[in-house]
Amino acid sequence: MGIMYFVRHGQTVWNVENKICGATDSPLTEQGHMQAKRTGEIINDAISAGRMHIDMILTSPLSRARDTAEEISSQTGIPVHTEVSLTEQNFGRWEGTPRNGGDFAAAKQNFCDSFSGGESMLRCAQRVYNLIDEITAIPEKTFLLVAHNGIARIVESYFRDMTNAEFAAFGIKNAQIREYRF
């Protein structure tokens, strides 16, 4: 049996401003940096106690995830590799608009829509699923993926059947750790 971990990046400027980040590179806030550091400490404590083992951190290239991954690495010594497959979905015309907008919520129900220049949910899921297929093919290695809430939703759907409503409602907190067994 293999294990994979997932961490969402720390708080960003646009998280605070309630804007859709997507592929736009919104930096971590001071609180986001502290969340990343605390997550690194939690992981390091678990590793030291023998409750966790991680061979490599794979991170989205966007600075909010990369900075979170680098902070975890500085706490644990685990090497970091940038993985473009973990880049957040590009929400096209919706990036920078309010997260809780009703029109955006309705648009996300159309999994084949690329949002006028963005990326469809299906194409995003394809690249993330392909990466997870590669990871699960080598269960003797344990990876920590550091990415985004939209990617967390897709990772969750890889390991658990979900209705469209469950998929749309799923999310994790900034710097939260999730474990997946396969």
| Mean pLDDT, rounded, for 24-47 | 98
The one catalytic residue in 9, 95, 148, 156 is: 9
Residue 124 has pLDDT above 90, yes or no: yes
Residue 102 has pLDDT above 90, yes or no: no
Quick one: what percent of the chain has pLDDT higher than 70? 100
**Nearest CA-CA partner of 78 in 27, 145, 137, 129:** 145
Radius of gyration (C-alpha) of the chain in whole angstroms:
16
Handedness of CA 121, 174, 2, 159 (dihedral sign): negative
Which pLDDT score, from 0 to 100, does residue 101 have?
Answer: 85
Residue scoring higher pLDDT (105 or 182): 182
Residue 53 has pLDDT above 90, yes or no: yes
**Nearest CA-CA partner of 74 in 62, 61, 57:** 57
| Mean pLDDT, rounded, for 102-121 | 93
Q: At what angle do helices 30-48 and 63-76 cross, to 10 degrees?
A: 40
Residue 147 has pLDDT above 90, yes or no: yes
Distance, first Cα to last Cα, the chain: 6
Per the annotation, the verdict on 156 as an active-site residue is no
Per the annotation, the verdict on 88 as an active-site residue is yes
The one catalytic residue in 83, 88, 119, 156 is: 88
Give me the sheet containing 56-59, strands edge to edge. 80-82, 56-59, 143-147, 3-8, 177-181
Q: Coil, strand or helix: which one is 21?
A: coil
| Mean pLDDT, rounded, for 101-119 | 92
In 136-176, at which residue ranges do the beta strands (DSSP E only) sit? 143-147
Provide, for the chain, the percentages of residues in helix, strand and coil under a 3-state DSSP scheme, each rounded to the nearest 5. 45, 15, 40
